[in-house]
Chains A and B, each alone.
Chain A
């Protein structure tokens, strides 16, 4: 059981938009930045969104992050087949004094 809660799966068709949620508490999302990582099968996760809604260089603006209270969301618009991957949210947790993660959401592009 992960500290942050994500839906195990999400799906959409090419061109559609999809949103992945991440729910936490006041000790993590409620008081710290949220990060999103994308992971392709057999590879390590890679930073997709940092500081709630900032995209690292090279990440297209089809990807956007938002945060409200103790929840966060990752939105992907204009879905492409290459977006099929696992998406993980993360945040620093003041109680744990360490980073916590969601269980990951497997995105399928139908």
Chain B
């Protein structure tokens, strides 16, 4: 059973950078594609980015200019940075796994972490 756990600050100031890490257990990050998804009350679920350990990365065009993704094979973790945040970036952020590319099938989800953007 693959388990994912998000970690990072729950409060970020406007204009600063949101940084989250996803720790994976039960599988190597070379086994699947990985994704970040967020959920807001007003907009529902929103795909942010997904990647494969080889470096193939896809971004939501509406967020692409502000996103940075990285991974650490040794720690079996991957990370998300979202720069220049505003109140609109307040959401529950999930890391999750995909069985392959070009799919909306999300097989395993993290518990989610609430990030609030406020001064």
Bound pair: A and B? yes
- Supposing A96-B60, A99-B47, A101-B45 touch, asked if A91 and B104 sit within 8 A by C-beta, the answer is yes
Report the minimal beta-carbon distance from B61 to chain A, rounded to whole angstroms: 7
A43 — which chain B residues lie within 8 A by C-beta? Answer: 111
Selecting from A9-17, A29-37, A61-69, A73-81, the interface stretch reads A29-37
Chain B minimum-CB-distance residue to A6: B44
The verdict on B2 contacting chain A, using a C-beta distance below 8 Å, is no
| Contact in complex: B60, A98 (CB < 8 Å) | yes
CA A103 to CA B43, docked complex, whole Å:
6
Chain B minimum-CB-distance residue to A1: B43
Chain A interface residue count, CB cutoff 8 Å, equals: 27
CA A15 to CA B40, docked complex, whole Å:
32
The verdict on B78 contacting chain A, using a C-beta distance below 8 Å, is no
Report the minimal beta-carbon distance from B80 to chain A, rounded to whole angstroms: 15
- Supposing A1-B43, A98-B47, A98-B60 touch, asked if A47 and B105 sit within 8 A by C-beta, the answer is yes
Which residues of A come within 8 Å of B, CB atoms?
1-2, 32-35, 37, 43-47, 50-51, 88, 90-92, 96-104
